Homo-oligomer: A and B are copies of this chain.
Amino acid sequence: MKRGYEVKFIQSAKNEKVKQWKKLRTKKERDKTGLFLVEGEHLVYEAKEADAIVEVIVTEQYYPKLAKSRFSDDQIFMIASSLEKQLSETETPQGIFAVCKQEMDQEVKGTRFLLLDAVQDPGNVGTMIRTADAAGFDAVVLGHGSVDPYNSKVLRAAQGSHFHLPIIRGHLNEWIDRLKEMNISVYGTALQNAVSMYEAKLDSKFALLVGNEGQGVSEELLQKTTQNLYIPIFGKSESLNVSVAAGIFMYYLRGK
């Protein structure tokens, strides 16, 4: 039996599978199914490595390049190249996509957490997930009002870090309580009523809480933290980009 004949080949945009995959571009469908769609070689192979893949979708052109032995036959779908644009959200699609399972394990483990309060820009959220991964953090928790972490732009900016550490959605109010019960210090970030990070006494077990660029962290959450910190501004700019600030904080708090 030739292998090529076993793989499902989809040519019509009206195919039910294609319709389902397209729907995964909406948050509603992702929430309902617990699935999400990634695209591009790098993300697909990161997903594979993390055992998160349900289905892998390749164009006819890409098919010969696919490392087929790494997938089971019934996971692979080949699509007509004309359908690629229907699934892709990039300008230069690479011909490879995967449907993945969202991480549902919400267990709290570790000593370093990043909490995001209503961060809405997908590029910023993805970049912060990537930085949290690089800095060796144990989880990222997205509070109410934050962008869906399985949004394609977040996935793209995070460059696969979704598959390296737990990305959790939760109520930050409850998370702060829980972390403090675990003796993990919670450091809010604020421009006022805060201590310079250089002058603060810092613990090695901590959660860093950052907010959106416009409003920062909500007053209610800032009241609940162990301590609130700021990065000194030595020049004339009013503030830093949130994902740059989060990076400076994460590496500073982490230390050597």
Interface size class of A (residues with CB under 8 A): 35 or more
State the A residues within 8 Å of B (CB).
123, 127, 130-137, 157, 159-161, 164-165, 198, 231, 233-241, 243-245, 247-248, 251-252, 254, 256
- CB of A234 within 8 A of CB of B131, answer no
Chain B residue numbers with a CB within 8 Å of A248 are 247-248, 251
Given A157-B241, A160-B237, A161-B235: 20 more A-B contacts, CB < 8 Å: A127-B241, A127-B244, A131-B237, A131-B240, A131-B244, A134-B234, A134-B235, A134-B239, A134-B240, A136-B234, A161-B237, A165-B235, A165-B236, A234-B254, A240-B247, A245-B247, A247-B247, A247-B248, A248-B251, A252-B252
- In the assembled complex, the Cα of A139 lies from the Cα of B39 at a distance in Å of 39
The reply to whether B198 and A235 contact each other, CB–CB distance below 8 Å, is: no
On chain B, the residues within 8 Å of A134 by CB distance are 231, 233-235, 237, 239-240
For the complex, what is the distance from the CA of A231 to the CA of B198, rounded to whole Å?
19
**Known pairs A127-B244, A244-B244; A133 contacts B235 (CB<8 A):** yes
A134 to B165, CA, bound (A): 31
Please measure, in the bound complex, the distance between the C-alpha atom of A123 and the C-alpha atom of B233, giving whole angstroms.
20
Cα distance A56–B61 in the bound complex, in angstroms: 53
Of chain B, the residue at the smallest CB distance from A46 is B236
Measured CA separation A238–B160 after assembly (Å): 9
A235 CB contacts on chain B under 8 angstroms: 132-137, 161, 164-165
6 pairs, A vs B, C-beta closer than 8 Å: A132-B235, A134-B235, A161-B237, A164-B235, A244-B247, A245-B247
- Chain B residues closer than 8 Å to A231, beta-carbon distance: 134, 251
Please indicate the chain B residues that have their CB under 8 angstroms from the CB of A244 in the complex. Answer: 127, 130-131, 243-244, 247
Contacts of A234 in B (CB 8 A): 134-136, 254
Contacts of A135 in B (CB 8 A): 234-235
Find out whether the CB atom of A236 lies under 8 angstroms from the CB atom of B198.
no
- The residue among A233, A234, A254 with the most chain B CB atoms within 10 A of its own CB is A234
Q: Are B159 and A237 interface neighbours, CB within 8 A?
A: yes
- The answer to whether B127 touches A238, judged by C-beta atoms less than 8 angstroms apart, is no
A236 near B164 with CB under 8 A, answer: yes
Given contacts A127-B244, A241-B127, A244-B127, contact A133 B236 (CB under 8 A): yes
